Amino acid sequence: MTDSLKIDVWSDIACPWCFIGKRNLESGIAATASDEDAPVVEVTYHSFELSPDTPVDFDGDELEFLATHKGMERKQVSEMLERVTSVAAEAGLEYNFDVLKHTNTVKAHELLHFAKAEGRQIELAERLMSAYFTEGRHLGREDELVSLAGEVGLDTDKARDALRSEQFLEAVRTDQAQAQAYGITGVPFFVIEGKYGVSGAQPADAFAQIVRQVWNERVETVDA
């Protein structure tokens, strides 16, 4: 029996390409499900803060943040957001940058580690990204995060305690240190079996191909 193939994903819930990458990875894995020897895949999400210096309550919209905080031309930002919205739609995602509330994401990352300990990390990652990019919910605020945790079946009292105690902050920092050790400077970044690195929101077909390739290598090694 071959153990599951492990994919570690470094991402930020405030990264538009990370949600697209998540969906394409899932679609790629799903495409392998009908294979004669279908891969068994275990996905784990890791913390990466794109803008750790962002305040919890940013006074402005996403366009203003990128134009002023990142030093980009407003026209360039507008075109970029239109492009990523179009790519997201191709992946089946609806992005609403006009209602998005830019915020600091460290607490969201702490909550994802709490969810991992409770066996619901994948569900929470999906819920947080959807809430951020589609619904315009404020993910820098404790009450909002706790509410979303409850929506995926997590105990809200335990979630609130985890955030207030910063119980999982060290786990966030450990993820970030590992990203630095790997040389990761942008997300999403996928590490397959601890040795193959894939950067960016690749198409679903590309993910399916690499999953099959690495899985077949594993099976051949076991059978040898």
User: What domains does the chain contain, in order, with CATH numbers?
Assistant: 5-40+53-209 (3.40.30.10)
Least confident of 37-41, 44-48, 69-73, 200-204: 69-73
Residue of 87, 88, 79, 74 whose CA lies nearest to 134:
88
> What pLDDT band is residue 200 in, cutting at 50, 70 and 90?
very high
The better pLDDT of the pair 92, 60 is held by 92
Q: CA angle at residue 199 from 133 to 78, to 5 degrees?
A: 40
The confidence score (pLDDT) of residue 218 equals 83
Burial of 95 (0-12, 13-18, 19+ CB in 10 A): buried
Residue 168: CB atoms within 10 Å:
22
Q: What is the rounded average pLDDT of the residues 55-68?
A: 88
User: Does the pLDDT value for residue 220 go beyond 80?
Assistant: no
Average pLDDT score over the chain? 95
Per-residue model confidence as pLDDT tens digits over 112-131: 999 999 999 999 999 999 99
Q: What is the rounded average pLDDT of the residues 159-164?
A: 98
Dihedral over Cα of 128, 132, 135, 138: its sign: positive
User: Does the pLDDT value for residue 224 go beyond 70?
Assistant: no
Residue of 44, 30, 28 whose CA lies nearest to 207:
28
Residue where the block lists tokens 């990203």? 179
The confidence score (pLDDT) of residue 14 equals 96
User: Does the pLDDT value for residue 2 go beyond 70?
Assistant: no
The confidence score (pLDDT) of residue 70 equals 77
Per-residue model confidence as pLDDT tens digits over 14-28: 999 999 999 999 999
The confidence score (pLDDT) of residue 1 equals 46
User: Does the pLDDT value for residue 223 go beyond 70?
Assistant: no
The token pair at 201 is: 């929101």
d(C-alpha 59, C-alpha 198), whole Å:
35
DSSP reduced 3-state for 65:
helix
Contact 109, 172 (CB under 8 A): yes
d(C-alpha 181, C-alpha 80), whole Å:
30
pTM beyond 0.85, yes or no? yes
Phi, psi of 11 (to 5 degrees): -155, 170
Cis peptide bond upstream of 52, omega within 30: no
